[in-house]
């Protein structure tokens, strides 16, 4: 019940208005510390200094998957409970998740060229991440294609839930198939295989980007709530003008 009370658009605007500057400030601070640690970290014994690309590439990959998983949870909120804040959260997360997915692909390509000798290969990890980006774009296009906001929200939620099958494929593709992309080295059975000198900067950058994602998502949700209020008021003003 307390959670449902919090999931009220007006209450969300009030709480997020107070929280947003702190979360955004914490994101900038943690990212500054993370990049400071990253640029002092030693070179990798195989990748050399190119490992520095991992401090942005890996958090982008994690957050692209996290944002989509969060959208899938919001989709249940849209379809089962028809909660307006779930629809707002879903719509607001899509362009942010798409940006993280696109940046993951671009930084991965920029790492792949010096390390693998190619920007792109159609291996399972890279292809499933490209599918994730296409799913984000598809969800946004579907929302834009349907005028009725309630119908567009439900259609986007169904597409999101269909596409969520891609998340375990992205995660486990390196185990299920023989890929050029290396297997998991942080979150894996038996613990991380990365040396602490490289792992700490990576985790600090990941925390910073996560805080940045939360701040951007909060801002986008606030904007979406305001947009819906503007639409309602414009419709009322138009109805009053006619009547």
Partner 1 sequence: MEHVAFIAASYIVSALGLGLLALWLLMDNGAQKRALAELEARGVRRRSSPANPARLEERTP
Q: Does residue 10 bind partner 1 (CB under 8 A)? A: yes
Residue 57: partners with Cβ closer than 8 Å, 6 or more residues away: 104, 107, 108, 111
CB of 86 to partner 1, least distance (A): 20
**Which tokens go with 178?**
């023989």
Q: In 3-state terms, what secondary structure has residue 239?
A: helix
Applying CB under 8 A, the span of 55-63, 78-86, 149-157, 191-199 interacting with partner 1 comes to 55-63
Q: Does residue 118 bind partner 1 (CB under 8 A)? A: no
Residue 34: partners with Cβ closer than 8 Å, 6 or more residues away: 55, 201, 204, 205, 206, 207, 208
Longest dimension (CA), the chain: 75
Q: For residue 5, with 0-12 CB atoms within 10 Å meaning exposed, 13-18 middle and 19 or more buried, which class applies?
A: exposed
Of the pair 49, 195, the CB lying nearest partner 1 is at 49
Q: Does residue 11 bind partner 1 (CB under 8 A)? A: no
Q: Does residue 229 bind partner 1 (CB under 8 A)? A: yes
Report how far apart, in Å, the C-alpha atoms of 140 and of each of 20, 62, 239 are.
Answer: 25, 20, 30
Contacts (CB under 8 A) with partner 1, residues 187-226: 212, 216, 219-220, 222-223, 226
A 10 A CB-CB count for 35 gives 17
Q: Does residue 48 bind partner 1 (CB under 8 A)? A: yes
- How many residues lie near partner 1 (CB under 8 A)? 37
- Distance between CA atoms of residues 104 and 110, nearest Å: 10
Applying CB under 8 A, the span of 51-59, 136-144, 166-174, 193-201 interacting with partner 1 comes to 51-59
Q: Does residue 49 bind partner 1 (CB under 8 A)? A: yes
Of the pair 10, 178, the CB lying nearest partner 1 is at 10
CB of 79 to partner 1, least distance (A): 26
Positions that interact with partner 1 (CB under 8 A): 10, 43, 48-50, 52-53, 56-57, 60, 95-96, 99, 102-103, 106-107, 110-111, 113-114, 212, 216, 219-220, 222-223, 226-227, 229-230, 232-234, 236-237, 240
């Amino acid at each position: 019940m307390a959670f449902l009370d919090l999931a009220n658009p007006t209450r969300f605007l009030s709480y997020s208005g107070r929280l947003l500057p702190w979360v955004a400030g914490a994101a900038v601070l943690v990212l500054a510390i993370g990049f400071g640690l990253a640029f002092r970290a030693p070179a990798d014994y195989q990748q050399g200094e190119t490992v520095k690309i991992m401090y942005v590439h890996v958090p982008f990959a994690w957050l692209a998957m996290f944002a989509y998983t969060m959208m899938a949870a919001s989709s249940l909120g849209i379809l089962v409970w028809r909660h307006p804040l779930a629809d707002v959260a879903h719509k607001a997360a899509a362009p942010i998740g798409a940006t993280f997915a696109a940046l993951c692909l671009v930084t991965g390509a920029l790492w792949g060229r010096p390390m693998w000798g190619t920007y792109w290969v159609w291996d399972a990890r890279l292809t499933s991440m490209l599918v994730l980006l296409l799913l984000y774009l598809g969800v946004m296009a579907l929302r834009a294609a349907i005028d009725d906001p309630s119908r567009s929200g439900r259609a986007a939620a169904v597409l999101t839930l269909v596409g969520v099958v891609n998340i375990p494929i992205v995660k486990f593709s390196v185990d299920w198939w023989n890929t050029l992309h290396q297997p998991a080295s942080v979150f894996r059975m038996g613990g991380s295989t990365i040396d602490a000198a490289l792992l700490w900067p990576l985790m600090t950058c990941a925390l910073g980007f996560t805080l940045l994602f939360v701040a951007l998502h909060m801002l986008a949700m606030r904007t979406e709530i305001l947009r819906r209020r503007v639409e309602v008021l414009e419709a009322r003003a138009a109805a009053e003008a006619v009547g």
